[in-house]
Amino acid sequence: MRHYVIVPLSIASKIVAVPLLFSVTLSYILRLVRQAGPETYTIGMTAFGVTGALSAICLTIPCASGTFPPTRYAGEKFLHSSLLLIQTLMIVYVKSALMQSAWWNAHISLGSVASVTLSIIGTLVSAAAAYAWYFGFDTLNDELWSNWDRRLREMETKKPNHRAPPVQNNKCCPTNRWTRAAGACFAS
């Protein structure tokens, strides 16, 4: 694979990830607004786990002293997203506790206002978490693809010799017909 193929691959990975991030965020927000319950916890905890793991990976990558590598920036964005996801889970908990309380049944109109308010706050916090996650992903994706491109360029400039060693005797390998056909005969 040549280095000029790396840029389209980087863009392609973003083309896949951005709609996926949007759809997962939208699904999470819709569940948060409609029904605060176990389904929302499952998605929220999964998102928190994945985001926390990405943050830990990015923040443990060593860097040269005095520099601020892009992976550190991505790790901080993933960490910020993790904190926002925890906040959304707290909002989900408060909303579900409110809906199951006796106060909710006694004050339906005030409970509805509180529920709508918590839904709006949860939506904004979830959107901010997705926004932070996107910036972390975008930075990490660009860094990883540029590192791959750099390594391919280094390998291309070194151009190691992958030819078979010269044949010292005229015997071909009798056990492998493919090496005999290719003429890759090695001295034993």
Task: Please give the Cα distance from 123 to 127 (Å, whole number).
Answer: 6
pLDDT digits (tens, 9 = 90+) for 3-35: 456 667 778 888 888 888 888 888 888 877 777
Give, in order, the Cα–Cα distances in Å from 142 to each of 6, 11, 178, 184.
10, 9, 41, 41
- Report which secondary-structure segment, H or E, holds 43: helix 38-59
Token pair 């071909």 in the structure block, residue: 172
Q: At what angle do helices 38-59 and 6-34 cross, to 10 degrees?
A: 150
Per residue in 42-100, pLDDT (tens digit) is 888 888 999 999 999 998 988 766 677 888 899 999 999 999 999 998 998 888 888 88
Contact 172, 166 (CB under 8 A): no
For the record, the structure tokens of 86 come out as 């925890």
What digits encode the pLDDT tens for the residues 140-185?
Answer: 888 888 888 888 888 878 765 556 555 555 555 555 444 444 454 4
- The 3-class secondary structure across 107-161, one letter per residue, is CHHHHHHHHHHHHHHHHHHHHHHHHHHHHHHHHHHHHHHHHHHHHHHHHHHHCCC
**Segments making up each domain of the chain, as ranges:** 3-158
Report the chain's C-alpha Rg in angstroms: 27
Measure CA 171 to chain center. 53
Q: How far apart are CA 22 and CA 121, in angstroms?
A: 18
